[in-house]
Amino acid sequence: MTDEHVINKGLEGVYFTESAICKVDGQAGRLYYRGYSIEELSKNSNFSEVTFLLLHGKLPNNREMLEFNQSMSKERDLPEGMISYIKENAQKMHPMDVLRTCVSMLPAYDAEAYDSSPEANFRKSVRIISKSASIVAAIGRARANKSYVAPDPSLGHAENFLYMLNGEKPRPEMVKILDIMLILHAEHSSNASTFGVIVAGSTLADLYAAITAGAAVLKGPLHGGADEAALSMMYNIGKPENTEKYIEDALAGRQKIMGFGHRVYKTYDPRARIIKGYLESLQTGNSEELKTLSQIAMRAEKLMIEKLGASKGIWPNIDFFSGPVYVSIGIPKELFTPLFAVARSSGWCAHMLEYWQNNRLLRPLEKYTGQLDLPYVEIGKR
């Protein structure tokens, strides 16, 4: 090896593996899961079916869908110990911290936690994807000082989540919106958290350890935490007419506007386009809060595109319009990122299972810039 090290800061442009799960075309603004476009899936499918597609590489037939839904619903209930932990801690920490800890606790309740056969890992994937939704619903209940609602096995994944969160069956249009949000968040190739999952799993740590790592990576505002941060910004802006000055001042102060920019998309994120479409259709509703948020979002988007779209390739990403859409179905702001994790757990598991078929430890290099061969000086003489 020579001293000519090529450093790709932020690993930009670096390929580390092959994958047949997801294609992100950052120039054309297209996204595909297992060959199906995100537009096609969000229009026609639901989260369970997309999860099956990600894990198995094909869409299920009727029998496979039925069996998969049954296996998901069987895994939904939470152990007593975890419910108590959530009650005790949900108001003390950010929900992402509670979720991450709960995922990390799951081996305590799983007899096959350390069985790393592909079959056991597949069953654990279903367990994680299913239970993470119940964990987030339980966190939401505990933060609102309400008691745990047990899952209803007759309900689909999105419907059951809203039922466990609110204690009542949701309206079908709420279920539809949540299903679409879950589909849009389910997968995105080698994003930071998926890479984090694979780094952990490449050491042959178990699936729970790998997914815990993913939850830790997702939390940050440069990644999954951007949805919560973008909505906080909209609340800080307060009134639609304040939008332009707020954004101009923030950019002048070299602040980043959350929900804009992407490492791969140098054009409009197709997921943001779909979510914006839903937000536009919601504007006709009669919630003043929602109308205000929508107007702020639209004005901010217009200004950002004018200023940074073509010139710097900074466009809205999935996290910008998500907040107001979640508000429309009554999801509290601190649950946005945990809900992102609930959806992304599908992609995380699919990638981990795929990578383990041909595992190699991930271990990049860093270029050392410090000194060498320094003499050791006794502590009293320094």
Ligand X SMILES: CC(C)(COP(=O)(O)OP(=O)(O)OC[C@H]1O[C@@H](n2cnc3c(N)ncnc32)[C@H](O)[C@@H]1OP(=O)(O)O)[C@@H](O)C(=O)NCCC(=O)NCCS
For ligand X, the closer of residues 162 and 314 by Cβ is 314
Q: What is the DSSP string of 68-125?
A: HHHHHHHT----HHHHHHHHHHTTTS-HHHHHHHHHHHGGGG-TTTT--SHHHHHHHH
What spatial distance separates the first Cα and last Cα of the chain, rounded to whole Å? 37
Nearest distance, CB of residue 260 and ligand X, angstroms:
4
Lookup: tokens for 158 = 């999105």
For ligand X, the closer of residues 27 and 91 by Cβ is 27
Nearest distance, CB of residue 245 and ligand X, angstroms:
16
77, 94, 97, 223: the catalytic one is: 223
Phi/psi at 377 (5° precision): -110, 130
Distance CA 163, CA 255 (A): 39
Q: Which residue is nearest to ligand X (CB)?
A: 261
For ligand X, the closer of residues 170 and 261 by Cβ is 261
Strand partners, 22: 33
Cβ–Cβ contacts within 10 Å for residue 5, how many? Answer: 10
Please list, in sequence order, all residues whose beta carbon lies within 8 angstroms of the beta carbon of residue 303, skipping any fewer than 6 positions away: 243, 244, 247, 248
Q: Which of 331, 365, 314 is nearest to 1 (CA)?
A: 365
110, 227, 269, 319: the catalytic one is: 319
Residue ranges of alpha helices (H) inside the chain are 38-44, 47-56, 62-74, 80-89, 95-105, 118-143, 157-166, 172-185, 192-201, 207-218, 226-237, 243-252, 270-282, 288-304, 310-312, 318-328, 336-356
Residues that bind ligand X (CB under 6 A): 10, 222-223, 226, 256-263, 312, 314, 317-319
319 is an active site residue: yes
Strand partners, 260: 316
223 is an active site residue: yes
262, 269, 351, 373: the catalytic one is: 262
Nearest distance, CB of residue 268 and ligand X, angstroms:
13
Active site residues: 223, 262, 319
